[in-house]
Chains A and B, each alone.
Chain A
C-alpha cells in the first residue's frame, strides 16, 4: 500500500462519504415518516388505506433497491417524471425503507397489551391521550433495537446509489480502480470509510439493546431479581427462626 496514494485519495473518499451519509439520512428520515403513517393506518385498521399500505409494503419488501432505482431513474422519465440523481436516490431509499420502518413500528404497537389501552379508557383518557401517554412510549422502547437494525440496513443499501451516477463511496472506488489501478488503496479506503459510518451505529444498536432489552429479556431479568429477593427473605426468615 502506498501512503502517498492514500493521502491523495483521502479527500475524495471523505467527500463521497459525506454524500453517502447525507443521502442516507435524508432517505431514512423520509422512511420514518412513511413508516409511522403506514403503521398507524395498519394499527387502527383504517379501511381502503389499509389495503393500499399492504400492497405498498409487499411491493417494496419483495424487490431490490437497485431495481427500484433503475425504474425511478431510467423508467419514469419516459412517462414524463424526471428526477435528478440525488432526489432519485433519496426517494428510492425512502420507498424501500418506509415498509421496513412500518413493519417495525407496527409490531411495536401490537406488542403493547390490549389491557393497557382498556385501562386507560376506564381511567378517562381519550383515544389520543391513550396513544400518546400509554401506547407510544411502550411501543417505542420495543421498536428501538429493530429500528437501529433498519437504519444500518438502509445505510448499507445506499451502496447501490452509484448505479444512478451518484458520486458515493462505491462510485469513487470503482472510478479510481478503473482510472489508476490503485486497487489496494481504493478498496482499503472504501472499507475504512464504510466502517467509520456503520460501526458507530452498530455499536449504538448493541448498547441500546442491552440497555432497553426486548420486553422478554427485561421481564426475565425482573423475574430473576424477584426470585433472588424471595430467596434472600426466606434465608433471613430461616435465620430468624433458628434464632428463636
Chain B
C-alpha cells in the first residue's frame, strides 16, 4: 500500500540506511572539527583584543547570515572556478558545515563565558586561586555543563542541514530514495509517498532522540 512495500524489497532498506549513514558521517566529522575551532574562536571573542574581535565578528556574521546552501555553492562551484580545485561534494560539505558549526559554536562558547558573573572571579582570587586554577576549577566546569546540551542541539541542526548536500550531488538518503522510486516506477507508481514518508521518519527518529537527550541534560544541569 502506498509504496511502503518498496522499501523492504531487495536491498532498498540497507541502501536507504546507508544514505542516512553518509549524511550522519558528514555531520559527525563536521561537528568534530567545528567544536574545537568554535571553542578557540569563542574564547577569542570573549577576550579583549578589539582587532581580533572585529575580524571574527565579520566572519561569523557572514557565515551565519548566508543560507548554508549558498555557502555550499560558494565552496563547491567557487573553488573549482577560482583555484581549479576539484572538491567532491562530501569534502565541500564537510568544509562548509565545519565553518558554519565553528561560527555557531563560538557564539555558544562566548555566551557561556559571559554568563559567568564577575564576582566568581573575584571570590576565587580572594580565596587565593591563581588565574589558571580559577579557569580549571571554576570557569571550565560551569561552561562545560552549559555547553553540552547546546552542542547536542547543534548536532541536531547539523544533521538536519546535511539534507542539503543532495543539491551538490552527494548520494545521501534523498538521492537513494529518488533512485528507488525511479527504479520501481512501473511496479509501484505510488512509491513516492511511502518512500518519502519513510525518509521523513528516518530523519525524525535521529533528530528526535538527539533533542530529547539535549532537553534531559539541560533540565538536569540547569
Asked if A and B are interacting partners, one says yes
Chain B nearest CB from A42 CB (Å) reads 16
* Pair A75/B192 contact, Cβ less than 8 Å: yes
A8 CA to B82 CA, complexed, in Å:
21
A177 CA to B81 CA, complexed, in Å:
11
Encoded as 1 (CB less than 8 Å from any A CB) or 0, chain B from 38 to 59 comes to 0000000000000000000000
* Pair A67/B70 contact, Cβ less than 8 Å: no
Q: A66-B174, A67-B199 are in contact. Are A61 and B69 (CB under 8 A)?
A: no
Of the listed stretches B29-37, B71-79, B132-140, name the one at the interface; the rest are far from the partner chain: B71-79
Interface size on B, residues (CB 8 A): 42
Closest A residue by C-beta to B188:
A78
Give the interface SS of chain B, mostly helix, strand, loop or mixed: helix
Of the listed stretches A83-91, A189-197, A230-238, name the one at the interface; the rest are far from the partner chain: A189-197
Chain B nearest CB from A145 CB (Å) reads 14
Verify if A204 is at the interface (C-beta below 8 Å from B).
Answer: no
Q: A62-B156, A74-B192, A184-B82 are in contact. Are A195 and B65 (CB under 8 A)?
A: yes
* Pair A62/B73 contact, Cβ less than 8 Å: no
Chain A nearest CB from B105 CB (Å) reads 17
Q: Return the contact of A79 from the options B77, B82, B190 (Cβ within 8 A).
A: B190
* Pair A170/B82 contact, Cβ less than 8 Å: no
Verify if A130 is at the interface (C-beta below 8 Å from B).
Answer: no
* Pair A163/B167 contact, Cβ less than 8 Å: yes
Verify if B3 is at the interface (C-beta below 8 Å from A).
Answer: yes
Verify if B166 is at the interface (C-beta below 8 Å from A).
Answer: yes
Q: A78-B2, A170-B73 are in contact. Are A157 and B192 (CB under 8 A)?
A: no
Q: Which residues of B contact A (CB under 8 A)?
A: 2-3, 61, 65-70, 73-74, 77-78, 80-82, 156, 160-161, 163-164, 166-167, 174, 177, 181, 189-197, 199-200, 203-204, 207-208, 211
For the complex of A and B, 10 pairs with smallest distance between CB atoms: A159-B67, A62-B207, A75-B196, A183-B81, A78-B193, A64-B160, A64-B163, A78-B190, A156-B67, A159-B69
Q: List 17 A-B contacts (CB under 8 A).
A: A62-B156, A63-B207, A67-B196, A68-B200, A78-B192, A79-B2, A152-B65, A160-B164, A163-B166, A170-B73, A187-B73, A187-B81, A190-B70, A191-B70, A191-B74, A198-B66, A199-B65
